[in-house]
Structure 1
Amino acid sequence: MQISSLLRHKGREVATIAGSESVRTALGLLAEKGIGALVVSADGRHVEGIVSERDVARGLHDHGAGLLAEPVSSLMTAQVHTCPPDASVHDLAQTMTDHRVRHVPVVDDDGVLIGIVSIGDVVKARLDELEDEKKHMVDYIQHS
């Protein structure tokens, strides 16, 4: 299964935040939307970074509550792993495992943000694929 197919099922909405916004604002968005990461983007189209709940938790541990007033850009991961829509779910799962990332923005050939995939999305897609394979095998065995 390709990432583009996964996005058709889950949708292409991506929560973004400007790097100049406060970490407190980012936390509010994460809680309000019930998500684990925000793409940092001034225009909502180009990826400048990513900030996750883990980033905030680690930042609070290292810097204390004063971090909440700091800009998201001070906390974000600037080297973001992205993927194209024609990548396979299997390859993206490998990338996420190898680089220990849980959220990967999907960008088109022009570098424009068109979606985001979480590790949960990947796991669900892989489980769906395995279930389909199992059904095909059972049908094959029963009709042979």
Structure 2
Amino acid sequence: MRISEVIRRKGAEVVTIRPEVTVTDLLTLLAERNIGAVVVSTDEGRTIAGIVTERDVVRHLNSDGAQVLDGPVAALMTTEVLTCSVEDDLQTLARTMTDKRIRHLPVVEDGELLAIVSIGDIVKNRIDELQAENEQLVDYVHG
């Protein structure tokens, strides 16, 4: 199965934030949207300048203290962002995300940000596939 199928099921909405926004405002956004990562973009979400996650905030709070909260998102974000395309295979991406300990992957097509997928999206998709296979096997055995 391809990433395009996950996007079709979950939707392509991507929450973005500008790099100059404060970390406190980032935390508000994460809480309001009940998400764990935000793509950082300087052009209204068309391209990726970076990505910032809850983990980034926690790590910087631990190392730099509470003053991090008043600083810009740009100070915390990861600028070398691993991305995927709509044609990428879910199994391959699941392995990559697990190996690299990445929970969120922006989906890029023709150089533009299209969507974002999380490891949770991929796991949910796999559970749905297994459940459908199970139902087919039960029907076959009882049929």
- TM-score, with normalisation over the residues of structure 1? 0.93
- The answer as to 2:121 corresponding to 1:99 is no
- TM-score, with normalisation over the residues of structure 2? 0.94
Q: What does 1:59-74 align with in structure 2 at a 5 Å threshold? A: 59-74=60-75
Report if aligned partners of 1:51, 1:72 keep a CA contact under 8 Å in 2: yes
TM-aligned CA deviation for residue 138 of structure 1: 2.8
Q: What does 1:46-61 align with in structure 2 at a 5 Å threshold? A: 46-61=47-62
Residue 86 of structure 1: aligned partner = 87
Q: Deviations over 1:77-123 (max 9, x none)?
A: 11111110111221111111011000111111x22111111111111
Other structure's SS at 1:93 match: helix
Report if aligned partners of 1:2, 1:85 keep a CA contact under 8 Å in 2: yes
Other structure's SS at 1:59 match: helix
TM-aligned CA deviation for residue 135 of structure 1: 2.2
**Counterpart amino acid of 1:19?**
P
How far apart are the structure 2 equivalents of 1:91 and 1:137? 26
Sequence identity percentage: 54
Residue 115 of structure 2: aligned partner = 115
TM-aligned CA deviation for residue 12 of structure 1: 0.6
Gaps (5+ residues) in structure 2? none
- The answer as to 2:77 corresponding to 1:76 is yes
Q: Deviations over 1:33-72 (max 9, x none)?
A: 1100000111111011100001001111111111011111
**Counterpart amino acid of 1:18?**
R
TM-aligned CA deviation for residue 133 of structure 1: 1.8
TM-aligned CA deviation for residue 140 of structure 1: 3.4
**Counterpart amino acid of 1:50?**
I
Q: What does 1:1-12 align with in structure 2 at a 5 Å threshold? A: 1-12=1-12
Residue 125 of structure 1: aligned partner = 125
Report if aligned partners of 1:96, 1:102 keep a CA contact under 8 Å in 2: yes
Moved segments of 4+, more than 6 Å: none
Residue 135 of structure 2: aligned partner = 135
How far apart are the structure 1 equivalents of 2:113 and 2:10? 15
